């Protein structure tokens, strides 16, 4: 019988790619999510019954334990960019990650992959980065043989980075950003999934791996590259950090008084996060240690951002028409 892996957050952006990779490798997969009815799209990743979405609340021991029962390996992909009710940074990224590792250890599971993020730091001013670091610490306390992945900004068809700003660019001549000079090292989502799948198959040594693509660029440079792909001309305006902090505080307050019904484009914690470069450290283990060549941004962006071009799906036809000659 094929081995079983439980992927917490397996229907999320990164998790679904890990699920696809492991399904192709023959694993049976439990995709543990809060809303299984919204994760049915994962079932065709494998043959009938191979990939199954199941309910799990990672804030609860019994819920985590029930979907892990009988598993040979676990993957934790659960993470949030902003708190949402009881699903706060500490509950999800620190306590949730530690809970999964602790219960995996109790059940005798020796293989675990934990998806964290570059910038994880207990001393950071960002609560997001603090809880990412505390989550890593909790995982290693119970599963010292775990593989921890720290990707930079992850891009791909379902990302919430390039898609968001490409969408924003449709509504005016200006594209505002916070931290225009902050550096990123965008990494393709399937490259991250490749490392995770290899780790589950026992091909990656335990430890922390920082994953970044072949190019490093400032926020402004990445936005310009995105604009070139979607063929729009926009003025990229940097919002100073002190103004962004005021804006973030206002949006946080609006979300509070609306009981979460209204949320703004940026939070105070995200502004703090954007103040630090998000690139692979010089001494970190990464793709090169695994013999993997990461995918270039320019090879992937056009494949999914074309829909934001002025002519959308007809853009290629219009470009071709320009070359027609009438004799």
Structure confidence at residue 307 (pLDDT):
94
Q: What is the band of 258 on the pLDDT scale with cuts at 50, 70, 90?
A: confident
pLDDT digits (tens, 9 = 90+) for 160-212: 999 999 999 999 999 999 999 999 999 999 999 999 999 999 999 999 999 99
312 within domain boundaries: no
255 within domain boundaries: no
Q: Residue 284 belongs to a domain with what CATH number?
A: 3.40.50.720
What's the rounded mean pLDDT across residues 20-31? 97
177 within domain boundaries: no
86 or 315: which leads in pLDDT: 86
Strand partners, 7: 31, 75
Number of compact structural domains in the chain: 1
Q: What is the band of 6 on the pLDDT scale with cuts at 50, 70, 90?
A: very high
272 within domain boundaries: no
CA–CA dist 137, 119 (Å, integer) = 14
Structure confidence at residue 321 (pLDDT):
58
Task: Indicate whether 218 pLDDT > 80.
Answer: yes
- Beta strands in the chain, from DSSP E residues, in sequence order: 4-8, 28-33, 51-55, 73-76, 111-115, 147-151, 154-155, 174-178, 183-184, 187-188, 207-211, 217-218, 235-239
Token pair recorded at residue 23:
């399904």
Structure confidence at residue 313 (pLDDT):
63
What is the sign of the dihedral through the CA atoms of 187, 293, 297 and 41? Answer: negative
What's the rounded mean pLDDT across residues 52-78? 97
Are 157 and 304 in contact by the 8 Å Cβ rule? The answer is yes
Are 155 and 223 in contact by the 8 Å Cβ rule? The answer is no
* Residue 61 structural domain: 4-155+186-213+278-294
Of the candidates 193, 158, 186, 187, the one whose C-alpha atom is nearest the C-alpha of residue 305 is 158
Count of other CB atoms within 10 angstroms of residue 130: 20
Structure confidence at residue 259 (pLDDT):
77
pLDDT digits (tens, 9 = 90+) for 77-105: 999 988 888 899 999 999 999 999 999 99
What's the rounded mean pLDDT across residues 219-229? 97
The two beta strands, 174-178 and 73-76, are: unpaired
65 within domain boundaries: yes
């Amino acid at each position: 019988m094929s081995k079983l892996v439980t992927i917490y957050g397996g229907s999320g952006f990164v998790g679904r790619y890990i699920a696809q990779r492991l399904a192709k490798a023959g694993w049976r997969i439990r995709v543990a999510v809060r809303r299984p009815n919204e994760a049915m799209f994962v079932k065709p990743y494998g043959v009938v019954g191979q990939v199954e979405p199941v309910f799990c609340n990672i804030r609860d021991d019994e819920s985590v334990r029930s979907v892990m029962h009988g598993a040979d390996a676990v993957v934790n992909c659960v993470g949030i960019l902003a708190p949402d009710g009881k699903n706060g940074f500490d509950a999800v990224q620190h306590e949730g990650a530690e809970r999964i590792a602790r219960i995996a250890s109790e059940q005798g599971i020796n293989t675990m992959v934990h998806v964290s993020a570059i910038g994880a730091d207990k001393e950071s001013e960002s609560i997001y980065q603090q809880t990412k670091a505390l989550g890593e610490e909790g995982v290693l306390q119970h599963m010292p043989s775990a593989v921890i992945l720290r990707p930079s900004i992850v891009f791909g068809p379902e990302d919430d980075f390039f898609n968001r700003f490409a969408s924003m660019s449709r509504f005016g001549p200006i594209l505002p950003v916070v931290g225009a000079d902050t550096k990123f090292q965008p990494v393709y989502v399937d490259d991250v999934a490749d490392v995770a799948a290899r780790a589950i198959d026992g091909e990656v040594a335990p430890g922390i791996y920082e994953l970044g693509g072949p190019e490093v660029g400032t926020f402004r440079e990445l936005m310009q590259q995105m604009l070139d792909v979607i063929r729009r001309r926009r003025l990229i305006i940097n919002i100073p950090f002190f103004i962004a902090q005021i804006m973030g505080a206002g949006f946080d307050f609006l979300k509070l008084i609306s009981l979460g019904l209204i949320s703004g484009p940026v939070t105070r914690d995200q502004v703090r996060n954007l103040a630090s470069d998000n690139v692979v450290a010089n001494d970190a283990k990464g793709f090169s240690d695994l013999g993997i060549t990461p995918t270039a941004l320019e090879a992937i962006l056009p494949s999914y951002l074309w829909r934001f071009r002025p002519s959308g799906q007809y853009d290629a036809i219009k470009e071709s028409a320009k070359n027609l000659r009438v004799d």
